[in-house]
Amino acid sequence: MNILRNNLDKVISRIEKARIAYSRHQIIRLVGVSKYSGIQDIQTLYECGQRSFGENKVQDLKTKSQALHDLPLQWHMIGTLQENKINALLALRPALLHSLDSFKLALAIQNRCARENITLKALLQINSSNEPTKSGLKPQEAIQTYLDILKSCPNIELDGLMSIGAHTREISKIQDSFALTKDIFDKLSPYGAKTLSMGMSNDFEIAISYGANMVRIGSILFEK
């Protein structure tokens, strides 16, 4: 427990330092990315005060959430969602889907949600670094797609945006990708966008400096 507690304390301290540098009024939520971690480590971090955890695969989310069903955890789906996994995800009642990456996927989710008379809170994923290996909408399509989903998918509660920083050692390119997402987020704020999920273990402090209010951190949180 001591190692994981120490990891969590260090991460929270770094988040707090970056938050204050950006704005003392900013509130930042930490999602622990537990895709490479076991049940015991998640439980340990829960005992240290961490409540939100994210998984990349629906099956892993199912396995871990069911094993820890007696704990008041918030589960986030952060990986790419395939249409044939929608029903399985909805059955798990996740707190948030970070990876809504197309209008087509939104319509498929809407159909399933309407049929079950349920809602799903989601973030629209933007490929702000324009990298072909990443999922997400092209930045120039993001605003119109967001508005289209708001209009056509009443069972999807759009809550904001998610993006992954540019995969490079060049800080300026990482900054540019976050700045672009923040600009789109600001334009969507009048339409109810509240959550800006950006930043992972290697770049979360940069993401916070560009307005991220949710960060997804795995490796530095779970390393031993």
The one-letter amino acid code at 150 reads L
- Give backbone dihedrals phi and psi of 8, rounded to 5 degrees, phi first: -65, -45
Q: Which residues face 97 on adjacent strands?
A: 77, 122
- Quick one: 2-222 is in which CATH superfamily? Alanine racemase (3.20.20.10)
User: What pLDDT score does 129 carry?
Assistant: 86
Domains in the chain: boundaries = 2-222
Give 134-178 pLDDT, tens digit per residue: 889 999 999 999 999 999 999 999 999 999 999 888 999 999 999
Quote the CA–CA distance of 138 and 117 in Å, as a whole number: 31
pLDDT tier, 209 (very low <50, low <70, confident <90, very high otherwise): very high
Quote the CA–CA distance of 189 and 185 in Å, as a whole number: 6
Q: How far is CA 10 from CA 2, 57, 220, 223, in A?
A: 12, 27, 9, 12
Q: Name the H helices within the chain.
A: 2-22, 39-47, 58-67, 86-91, 103-116, 139-152, 171-188, 204-209, 219-222
Give 70-123 pLDDT, tens digit per residue: 999 999 999 999 999 999 999 999 999 999 999 999 999 999 999 999 999 999
Look up tokens 């909408």; give the residue: 137
Per the prediction, the chain carries an average pLDDT of: 96
pTM: predicted TM-score of the whole model, two decimal places: 0.96
Give 15-46 pLDDT, tens digit per residue: 999 999 999 999 999 999 998 899 999 999 99
pLDDT tier, 196 (very low <50, low <70, confident <90, very high otherwise): very high
Q: Which two tokens stand for residue 44?
A: 């340990």
Contact 192, 158 (CB under 8 A): yes
Residue 200 has pLDDT above 80, yes or no: yes
Residue 1 has pLDDT above 80, yes or no: no
